[in-house]
Amino acid sequence: MMYEKEIKFFDEVALDTIVVPAHPKGFEEVFLGEKRWPNLKIDQKRKAYVRFIAVYQTRPVSTITHYVEVERFDPLEQKGRYTVIFKGEPKGNYSPPPSDFWVAFKAQARVRVMVFHAD
């Protein structure tokens, strides 16, 4: 891929998926219901390569359960913060074993994963 050589800080691997943590209410109402993710903090350089957003549901689920293609990033007033608008319906309903957490997700979603930690 053209951009893999440009991203030195990721060991020259283009990471096209961000993972966001979600509590049950936020997951149901916002991720699935409104088909968006608000107030995402992401660097401009990284944003250019993101194609997918995945959700890690917190307890009691404690795993990545859904992902969706990103349509666009709508900028917020605060610099570096965006509302992520989804393209289509979130896909999911799988639960990989905890020990194979990332490997199973990458295989099923066929994407490379970049973990995002919320502030």
Residues in the chain: 119
Asked if the model's pLDDT at residue 93 lies above 70, the reply is no
Inter-residue contact 43 to 80 (CB < 8 Å): yes
Task: Provide CB contacts within 8 A for 19, sequence distance 6+.
Answer: 53, 54, 55, 56, 64, 113, 114, 115, 116
For residue 119, the model assigns a pLDDT of: 42
Q: What's the whole-model pTM score?
A: 0.68
Q: What are the strands, taking DSSP E only, across 42-104?
A: 52-57, 63-75, 81-92
H helical segments located in the chain: 24-26, 44-47, 101-109
What is the reported pLDDT for 117? Answer: 43
Question: What pLDDT is attached to residue 32?
Answer: 95
Cα separation, 74 vs 76, whole angstroms? 7
